[in-house]
Chains A and B, each alone.
Chain A
Amino acid sequence: MKQDYAHYLSKTAKELQPSGIRKFFDLAASMKDVISLGVGEPDFITPWNIREAAILSLEQGETAYTANPGLLELRQEITNYLGTRFGVEYDPKNQIIVTIGASQAIDLAFRAILNQGDEVLIVEPAFVSYAPLVSIAGGTPVALSTSPENGFKLTPEQLENAITEKTKAILLCFPNNPTGTSLNKEELTEIARIVEKHDLIVVSDEIYAELTYDEVFTSFSALEGMYDRTILINGFSKGFAMTGWRLGLLAAPAPFVEVMLKIFQYTTMCAPTMLQHGAIEALRNSFHDVETMKRSYRRRRNFVVQTLNKIGLDCHIPGGAFYVFPSIKATGLTSEQFAEELLMQERVAVVPGHVFGESGEGYVRCSYATSMAQLQEALKRMQRFLESKGVYGENTVEILK
């Protein structure tokens, strides 16, 4: 007998939109010889010393639970890291949780602070999980669209205009996925003024902090007056090339952490023990690797941005992460058409911008976390594709600084 499952399922869950990236993934995965610029993770393998530390911990039989918020030793390393790197002081005993990826940290933050109907501002284009996580926690996600004219930066006026009496929190992610945009200290300070004026909580996703290229990264929590209202989220995935480890972290004022820890205890117990041992090694001995990877991304960013501009796609130079977000408006195609046709015609996968929010329409996300040889070939193919659409780059144009 065919069952009607719809009435078994929760209304909230049913109403969640499936990720727009999914459809595109299925299409790209079914094809051969695809050069993918659609990957949201480093092309480096986790540094060997980190992998070795995790292996060693298994050999030593480190297979039991750890304390709920994570090994104290790891939390201490995390607080040292946040202190020395970003100038923010946290107490390892009651202000840190080691989570399953930064995604879980964001989930915990929303569950801890939101009541039914509370609004959360999400700066768009944005990572695909934010809005659904707000909805799952009973809140209402409100898109705060940024525009390419100012390099997808959030401005204080925009923020001020978007705030209603229901606004409880704002989610910030700089450097940003998908635009790569990063905000400097002055720009963040202006945001902080509005945040304070309206008594908002800030969920600051700083997962790309280590991959900031041109300016010094500023943690939102380090800004004057922001420590007490910031839930700082970071993790090991991007900077240390540890995506598959699913290790994130959150740092926040103790009353926030207490509530988040309660939820975490019931849902997760603790992050995997052997992986936490790897993370300790990462924080102790891997910053030279982080630096090497960062330099490598930076070179590739420069190359990709300049080449995209040369072949006829307008592209701002992003300050961080490993994404560029060129405009494809010159082709007259929608993001989805562009991405699909590029894939079918030239076997290059990029992610259509609209999956990151309405303001992403007219753009595509290209990840440059792939080898120079692949990037060169991909850009050559893109140029051919553009020419087939009547878009010709200005070969003679001097795009150099």
Chain B
Amino acid sequence: MKLSSEEIEILKIIEEDHKLSVETIASMVLSSEEKVKAAIEKLEQEKIIISYPTLIDWSKVEGQENIIAMIDVKVTPKRGVGFDEVAERIYRFPEVTSLYLMSGAYDLSITVEGKTMTQIATFVSEKLSTIDNVISTTTHFMLKKYKHDGVIFGGGDEKDKRMVVSP
């Protein structure tokens, strides 16, 4: 879909901080509140803006830490639907937080989150591996999240090292 440069600008602003008010966004793009509001509604309807999630570092919250695994999956594509059918079967499981079709040594890359290692192991052995068309799986457990969606976890937020006034 072809968007105007103003719409693209609005998207970039929201992508960085969706909490800015419509009034502020309007002033940033030199437009009116009504126009910005209409543009955002259109972008939502078109599913270009899909949702407004918040990035939370759960590892900092006691009792809320999740075990995350990335699983490489080889599958046999099916005539007529390719990988879509098997992908759909997999992404419907709530423990699957992301799923991509990849080029290279395997076909699907899956991110799975669970409370315990056993929970993930059970998902792999009982759900994932048993799906028709799944040939093999390789599970990698995530040890530490350094950066996610362009955001650096822990640290990152570097202090302003500039002098308070300079010419």
Contact = CB atoms under 8 A, between A and B. Distances in A.
State yes or no: do A and B come from one complex: yes
Interface of A: 19, 21, 24-25, 28-29, 34, 36, 38-41, 43, 45, 127-129, 177, 295, 299-300, 302-303, 306-307, 349, 351, 370, 372, 376, 400-401
A300 B24 CA distance: 10
Given A128-B167, A295-B12, A302 B158 contact: no
A25 B162 CA distance: 12
22 contacts: A25-B163, A28-B164, A29-B165, A38-B164, A38-B165, A39-B162, A39-B164, A41-B162, A43-B160, A43-B162, A177-B167, A299-B29, A300-B28, A302-B28, A303-B24, A303-B28, A351-B167, A372-B17, A372-B24, A400-B26, A400-B31, A401-B30
A369 to B, nearest CB: 9
A273 B163 CA distance: 26
Given A45-B158, A299-B13, A400-B31, A351 B26 contact: no
Contacts of A376: 24
Contact of B165 (A24, A302, A400): A24
A400 B163 contact: no
A41 B166 contact: yes
Nearest to B13: A299
B15 to A, nearest CB: 12
A39 B26 contact: no
Given A299-B28, A306-B27, A349-B164, 7 more contacts: A29-B164, A34-B164, A36-B165, A41-B166, A129-B167, A376-B24, A400-B27
Interface in B144-167: 158, 160, 162-167
B20 interface: yes
A39 B165 CA distance: 5
A25 B164 contact: yes
Contacts of B12: 295
Contact of B166 (A21, A295, A307, A372): A21
Contacts of A45: 158
A19 B163 CA distance: 16
Quick one: which of A34, A299, A307, A400 has the most chain B CB within 10 A?
A: A299
Contacts of A38: 164-166
B27 A25 contact: no
A291 to B, nearest CB: 12
Contacts of B164: 25, 28-29, 34, 36, 38-39, 349
B26 to A, nearest CB: 7
Contacts, number: 69
A28 B163 CA distance: 10
Contacts of B162: 36, 39, 41, 43
B32 interface: yes
A181 B12 CA distance: 26
Contacts of B24: 303, 372, 376
B9 interface: yes
Contacts of B160: 43, 370
Contacts of A34: 164
A331 B26 CA distance: 28
B112 to A, nearest CB: 31
Contacts of A351: 165, 167
A48 to B, nearest CB: 11
Interface in B61-105: none
Interface string B111-155: 000000000000000000000000000000000000000000000
Contacts of B31: 400
Contacts of A40: 166-167
